[in-house]
Chains A and B, each alone.
Chain A
Amino acid sequence: GQQLNQSPQSMFIQEGEDVSMNCTSSSIFNTWLWYKQDPGEGPVLLIALYKAGELTSNGRLTAQFGITRKDSFLNISASIPSDVGIYFCAGRSGSARQLTFGSGTQLTVLP
């Protein structure tokens, strides 16, 4: 089955710093999504990518669909305390019926 490797597993950064996380897959995907989960809540969609090479921003967040279609990254610029949470990548290949989720990146922003 499809596998996603998400890294890093956790990050501790100072407020104001930029952060980057990425996912790689064992197979080609035609969709990459990035979600954020706040404590006690369900994951919320941040950015969706549907074409290889696509670069999409949502405020301070930028995500890219890798050219090989086997990877994606998410950048957060000028981090703030409310960026704290777990970030999940998710992807789907053409033959799959559901999304596959990465294992998550726990982000902590220190004041």
Chain B
Amino acid sequence: DTAVSQTPKYLVTQMGNDKSIKCEQNLGHDTMYWYKQDSKKFLKIMFSYNNKELIINETVPNRFSPKSPDKAHLNLHINSLELGDSAVYFCASSQDSLRGTRVGYTFGSGTRLTVV
């Protein structure tokens, strides 16, 4: 199936730990994103990569570090997890973001991170 796949689906961890979330897309898209959805369901962009190059880096603590080994993968590593990091994190991808053509995003099913 063509899709955006992210793992794990659920992640429960203690404060202070380091964790990673992985994302892969097989849609042939050249741009990938990480979004954070808080308890009020607001979707806030965190990062965007185009062909492995970071193009958007919103105001996010530097404990969050994205890594894109190739244009089909965008992973998110979080150091020293805090209670406020608890949220659902969505990976998404799109085609031709920089050229301004049609840019409907395809989202993964999310990773629910709970920090205890």
Q: Is A31 an interface residue (CB 8 A)?
A: yes
The verdict on A103 contacting B42 (CB below 8 Å), with A48-B102, A97-B98, A98-B33 known, is yes
The verdict on A43 contacting B43 (CB below 8 Å), with A31-B102, A48-B102, A99-B105 known, is yes
Chain B at the A interface: mostly helix, strand, loop or mixed?
loop
Contact check, A50 vs B102: say whether CB atoms are below 8 A apart: yes
Of A33, A42, A50, A104, which is within 8 A of B41 by CB? A104
CB-CB nearest in chain A for B33 = A98
Contact check, A42 vs B102: say whether CB atoms are below 8 A apart: no
Contact check, A42 vs B33: say whether CB atoms are below 8 A apart: no
Contact check, B43 vs A40: say whether CB atoms are below 8 A apart: no
Chain A: residues with Cβ within 8 Å of the partner, total of 25
Map CB proximity to A onto B90-116 as digits: 1 under 8 Å, 0 otherwise.
101000011010111111111000000
Contact check, B108 vs A42: say whether CB atoms are below 8 A apart: yes
A7 to chain B, nearest CB (A): 14
Map CB proximity to A onto B1-45 as digits: 1 under 8 Å, 0 otherwise.
000100000000000000000000000000001000000111101
Of B103, B104, B110, which is within 8 A of A42 by CB? B110
B81 to chain A, nearest CB (A): 22
A70 to chain B, nearest CB (A): 18
A86 to chain B, nearest CB (A): 6
Of A35, A50, A92, A97, which is within 8 A of B55 by CB? A97
Contact check, B90 vs A42: say whether CB atoms are below 8 A apart: yes
Of A35, A42, A98, which is within 8 A of B109 by CB? A42
Of B42, B103, B108, which is within 8 A of A99 by CB? B103
Map CB proximity to B onto A74-111 as digits: 1 under 8 Å, 0 otherwise.
00000000000010101010100111010110100000
Q: How far is the CA of A91 from the CA of B48 in the complex (A)?
A: 16
Across the interface, which residues of B come within 8 angstroms of A30, CB to CB? 100
Q: Which 6 A-B pairs have the closest CB atoms?
A: A42-B107, A101-B43, A45-B104, A104-B41, A42-B109, A43-B107
